[in-house]
Amino acid sequence: MSTAAVALVVLGCLLAAVLLGRALRRALPESHLSADTKDVVKLAMGLVATMSALVLGLLVSSAKSAYDIKQSEVIQMAAKTAFLDRVLLVYGPEAAQTRGQFHEAVKEAVQRIWPQATASAADLIPNLQSGRRLYGDIQALSPHDEEQRGLKAEATSLATQLGEIRSLLAAQSVPSVSMPLLIILVFWLFVILLSFTLFAPPNTTALFAVIVSAIAVAGAIFLILELDQPFGGLIRISSEPMLNAINQLEK
C-alpha cells in the first residue's frame, strides 16, 4: 500500500472518531457529560496524549535518521565514484578500458536507483555481474612502477568501498517504521479525538478545529512514511550528487 493510501486510511479512521464522538454526545445522558466526568476524561486523555506524542516523536526520529543515513551514503558514493575515476585516469592509458566500463556501470546504477519513469520503483540491488567485471579489470592491471602499484591498490580499495555502500543501500531498503507501533499510535489518536469531540461544544468552530487536527496528524504520518521511502515518493533523496559525479567522469 502506498504512503498516500495509508495516510488516507489513517485520516478516515480519525474522521470516523470525530463522527462517533458527536453521535455519542447526542446519545449519552447529561449525567455522563458532567464537569466531574470531563475532568476525569481530561486526565486520562492527557496521559494517552503524552504517550502518543512520545511515540509520534519516536517514529519521526527513526524515519529521519534512516533518511539521513541513506542520504549520507549517496553522497559518499558520489565522492568515491569521482575519486576512483581520477585514480584510473592518473594510472594511465592502460586503465582506459577499465575506466570506460566504470563509466557505463555508474550510469547504469544511477538509472536503476533513480529511474526516469516516475512510476518505476527504485532498484537498489547492485548489479553483481558489472561489479565483478570492474573489480576483475582493476585486478588485471599490471603496474610498471611504484606509483602505479599504489594507484592500483587505491582503485581496488575504492571499488570495494563502492560495493559495500551499494550493498548497504540494498540492505537498508526494508522499512524502519514498525507497523504494529503505527497501528497502536493510530488507535490512541482515535481515542483522543473521540474524547475531544465527545466533550466539545456542538458548534461548527469546535468541529472544524478537531477535523483540522485530524488532518494534521494524518499529514504527519504521511511525512513519516515518505521519509521511510527515500528513493520514491515526494521526499526522495536527490540524484544530484551522482549526476554531478557523472558529469565529472565525462570531462
- The angle, 0 to 180 degrees and rounded to 10, between the axes of the packed helices 146-171 and 128-139 is 170
Distance, in Å, from the CA atom of 162 to the CA atom of 159, rounded to the nearest integer, reads 5
Full-model pTM: 0.81
pLDDT per position as a tens digit, 28-44:
777 666 777 777 888 88
CA angle at residue 42 from 37 to 200, to 5 degrees? 80
Q: At what angle do helices 240-249 and 96-113 cross, to 10 degrees?
A: 160
Which helix (H) or strand (E) segment holds residue 206: the answer is helix 204-227
Give the residue carrying C-alpha cell 582506459: 96
Are the CB atoms for 222 and 48 separated by under 8 Å?
no
Structural domain count of the chain = 1
Q: What is the mean pLDDT of the chain?
A: 86
Cell numbers 499529514: residue? 219
Q: What is the pLDDT of residues 110-136, one digit of tens each?
A: 888 888 755 567 788 888 888 888 888
Query: Quick one: pLDDT at residue 70?
Result: 92
Q: pLDDT at position 119, please?
A: 59
- Domain carrying residue 50: 3-26+34-249
The pLDDT of residue 134 is 87
With a cut of 50, list the residues of the chain below it in pLDDT: none
pLDDT at residue 28, rounded to an integer:
73
